[in-house]
Structure 1
Amino acid sequence: MVSIARKNLFHEKGRLVISIGGVAFSTMLIMVLMGVYYGIFTESTMYLRKTNADLWVGQEGIHDTWHTYSLLPRGLDEEIRRVGGVKDVHEFIGRAVRAKVSKVVDKEETIYIIGFDTKTGVGGPWEIVKGKKIPRDGQVIVDRVFATRNGIDIGDKIEVGGVELTVVGISKDTFVLVYSYAFVTKEDAEKIFGAEDFLNYYMVEVDNPFFAEKIADNIKSRLESLGVKVDVLTKQKFIDNHKEVIDESFSAILLPLVFIGFFIGVTVIGLTLYTATLEKMKEYAILKAIGADETFMMRIVLEQAFTIALLGFAAGSILSFLAANLIPNVAPEFYVEINLQNVVMTFGSIVVMSLVAALIPIRRLERIEPATVFQA
């Protein structure tokens, strides 16, 4: 059986190479698209995962930092610290604004300004590729995607909310979907937003994250007893909320493209198998005439399908990893994350692809008559 399947496939090596190439392309398309999808999740929630905050205290009705706006009065940090299990409390001041890029006349970019406590560093950038990690008043740390897009380097200036800021650092992994994070001192953030008596969130560290949800309920109750209505979300819940926004925005775009990749693979494997089957109809008729059953011949077709699929998957996986390393260099706003889940899902798609593609030639073999061998 093995020799027959391989003989049929390798009889036309050029066609086999083209078939493997088609499956490899489908594999790469599926894997890279899924990688971009996972990469968006990773990059867009990186700030929440890297920031040392177990709980986020915001205005009642908060969902995420992008689409819902939170505004709370200052001075609640001491009340929060009185709740059992609370280790420390930090202020978060931030929102998306338009920034003027001085190198480009009349050009504006949307950035997400974050004012953080430069003494503790909580809420600030976690990885710097160039320059300083802690800004002073009048200084800003920008993301490398923002810097690359606008040709910005250390020492250049941007203007936000009428405040001129000098770039002193360039951070990594601080790009979020369509804009980047930019980090300034809390004092500069207050000037830019014009909100000296208010902030957006309180970031809370707890002694034991296992009790985070209980502590969150206690914080909510304590502040509401003071007449301040809040919602308190755990880090994981806040991350999940942001992922939900991403999923709603991108799944409708991603799924049709993945389906296109799947359809290409099915078509390529199906045409290859069907052509190979037609060319060997007399050989199959002889097998049936000497007693080979339909299961035996079906296994031949399936092995051919799986062989093409596995070889294509192997080649496509190599191309996908190469693309994952190349794409960020060409388009730094895209991060391709090829993880185990991505590989397993893609492999599952390829297996299903080969099964679907084998249906037509299998049906053709079921209708073959042994008398075919005597036809001219």
Structure 2
Amino acid sequence: MMSLALKSLIFDWRRFSPAVVAVAFSGLLVLLQAALILGIFSLSSLYVTRSSADLWIGYPGVQSVDLGRPISDQAELSAWMQPGVRQVEPFLWGSGEWRTESQGMVNVYIVGVSLDPGALALATVLTPAQRANLAEPGAVLIDDGDVHKLGVQLGDAVEINGRRVHVVGLTHGLRGLGGVNVIASLSTTRDLDPAAGPAGMVAYVLAQFDSSKAATSAVHRLNRVGQSSGFEALSTEAFAERTTSYWLSESGAGVAFLFGSVVALAVAIIITSQTLTAAVVGSIKEYAALRALGFSMGSLRAIVLEQSAWVGVAGLAAAGLLTFLLAFVARAQGVPIILSPLMMVAAGAIIILVALGSGAWALRRVALADPASLLL
């Protein structure tokens, strides 16, 4: 049978609807803040997650993919010696000054990738045709989201570090978090920034294996060799997580986002608690009538908490619907949004706890439900 708390909510829905709206927007705020934080900072690991390598070999302790330092060619040889290895390729990360007449100078990262049709680096982004275009000396690719910032169009010629290059193609979804990224071949990258790969050294070595078990075993073996040879092996998932964590925890932007989320959650809790308290106060006469019918104070408190739980459930459903609608709009506009199942479960738990906590805060008003007040 339907409980008394739920019946009262349905009958007097106008009184409790502001509380449902407050909970819904609290949940929307929590979910979107978390989704935006993860979405924005996941941009820092795009070059890792958009590649098909099973592991990355870089400088020991490297914190982020954009902080790569040259490692010796011993890393590539060691990777080829691992059982179950299928493919190994170098990856360069340099820097430069992009100069145009219209925009002046823009600092850019130069990403050097293999041009093989089945290359591991950016395997899910670059097409074989784009890799073939990069074979031309001085050819580069830029992201379509950086066209305005760089002040060029497809086919334009510019200078990087004083050397002439020309834009032969546009990528999509590769806008960098720490700056503008320019993609080139390995040879072009070395010409533009000799420090990116001096004496045959590379920033990273990417490797793919026959199975995940072989890749996991290779990580342990490579790290034993790397202790003396000056390199460290990481699985793709571990390197992407390390990169995102670095930007999230070490950068000032990450701390600011987290502080803003805490403030937003505190505001949501205050608004929800005040709204629920107002709804309880508005129902004091109904609670007083229940006292007159023999309900104990404990029963009234249980009714208020159950009403708070139902308000939380209704608000959670509304927040979920609004979140998915806004996330769809955001993705259509190119705004990075990440909604993981774990995040949604955690946000749902927070929303229910906010509703129950607000109901518990409103319990202090239940003591006003004196049957004598019905005579007034």
- TM-score, with normalisation over the residues of structure 2? 0.83
Structure 2 residue aligned with 1:154? 154
Q: 1:296-315 counterparts in 2 under 5 A?
A: 296-315=299-318
Shift in alpha-carbon separation, 1:82–1:280, aligned structure 2, 3 A: closer
**1-side partners of 2:82 and 2:317: how far apart?**
55
Tell me if the contact between 2:86 and 2:210 (Cα under 8 Å) persists in the aligned partners. Answer: yes
Is the partner of 2:267 in helix, strand or coil? helix
Q: Deviations over 1:219-266 (max 9, x none)?
A: 455577xx7332222323322321320331355333333333333333
Structure 1 residue aligned with 2:163? 163
Tell me if the contact between 2:22 and 2:275 (Cα under 8 Å) persists in the aligned partners. Answer: no
Is the partner of 2:121 in helix, strand or coil? coil
Match for residue 325 of structure 1 among 328, 339, 348 = 328
Give the residue type in structure 2 aligned to 1:95. G
User: Runs of 5+ in structure 2 lacking a partner?
Assistant: none
Structure 2 residue aligned with 1:214? 217
Tell me if the contact between 1:285 and 1:368 (Cα under 8 Å) persists in the aligned partners. Answer: yes
Q: 1:358-373 counterparts in 2 under 5 A?
A: 358-366=359-367, 368-373=369-374
Cα deviation for residue 217 of structure 1 reads 4.2
Structure 1 residue aligned with 2:116? 119
**1-side partners of 2:284 and 2:116: how far apart?**
79
Cα deviation for residue 348 of structure 1 reads 1.2
Structure 2 residue aligned with 1:82? 81
Tell me if the contact between 1:58 and 1:200 (Cα under 8 Å) persists in the aligned partners. Answer: yes
Q: Deviations over 1:129-150 (max 9, x none)?
A: 9x83542322111122212544
Tell me if the contact between 1:113 and 1:184 (Cα under 8 Å) persists in the aligned partners. Answer: yes
Q: Which runs of 4+ in 1 moved over 6 A?
A: none
**2-side partners of 1:163 and 1:124: how far apart?**
25
Tell me if the contact between 2:48 and 2:65 (Cα under 8 Å) persists in the aligned partners. Answer: no
Q: After alignment, is 77-86 or 173-182 more displaced?
A: 77-86
Q: After alignment, is 245-254 or 183-192 more displaced?
A: 245-254
Give the residue type in structure 1 aligned to 2:281. L
Tell me if the contact between 1:95 and 1:113 (Cα under 8 Å) persists in the aligned partners. Answer: yes
**2-side partners of 1:251 and 1:26: how far apart?**
21
Is the partner of 2:104 in helix, strand or coil? coil
Is the partner of 1:336 in helix, strand or coil? coil
Tell me if the contact between 1:262 and 1:349 (Cα under 8 Å) persists in the aligned partners. Answer: no
**1-side partners of 2:275 and 2:229: how far apart?**
68
**1-side partners of 2:361 and 2:288: how far apart?**
17
Give the residue type in structure 1 aligned to 2:102. V
**2-side partners of 1:288 and 1:149: how far apart?**
69
Q: Are positions 1:3 and 2:2 aligned together?
A: no
Q: 1:166-245 counterparts in 2 under 5 A?
A: 166-194=166-194, 195-197=197-199, 198-220=201-223, 228-245=229-246
Give the CA RMSD over aligned residues: 3.0
**2-side partners of 1:168 and 1:275: how far apart?**
63
Structure 2 residue aligned with 1:70? 69
Q: After alignment, is 283-292 or 20-29 more displaced?
A: 20-29
Cα deviation for residue 34 of structure 1 reads 1.0
Cα deviation for residue 51 of structure 1 reads 1.9
Cα deviation for residue 367 of structure 1 reads 5.2
Shift in alpha-carbon separation, 1:373–1:341, aligned structure 2, 3 A: same
Cα deviation for residue 355 of structure 1 reads 0.8
More helix by percentage: 2
Shift in alpha-carbon separation, 1:318–1:4, aligned structure 2, 3 A: closer
Give the residue type in structure 1 aligned to 2:372. A
Cα deviation for residue 329 of structure 1 reads 5.4
Q: Are positions 1:43 and 2:43 aligned together?
A: yes
Q: After alignment, is 78-87 or 238-247 more displaced?
A: 78-87
- Aligned pairs, number: 363
Tell me if the contact between 2:57 and 2:232 (Cα under 8 Å) persists in the aligned partners. Answer: yes
- TM-score, with normalisation over the residues of structure 1? 0.83
Q: Deviations over 1:11-65 (max 9, x none)?
A: x4xxx55444433332222111111122235433232133232232233443332
Tell me if the contact between 1:43 and 1:173 (Cα under 8 Å) persists in the aligned partners. Answer: no
Tell me if the contact between 2:50 and 2:124 (Cα under 8 Å) persists in the aligned partners. Answer: yes
Cα deviation for residue 70 of structure 1 reads 1.9
Tell me if the contact between 2:53 and 2:236 (Cα under 8 Å) persists in the aligned partners. Answer: yes
Cα deviation for residue 66 of structure 1 reads 2.6
**1-side partners of 2:226 and 2:306: how far apart?**
66
Tell me if the contact between 1:285 and 1:372 (Cα under 8 Å) persists in the aligned partners. Answer: yes
Structure 2 residue aligned with 1:99? 98
Cα deviation for residue 210 of structure 1 reads 0.8
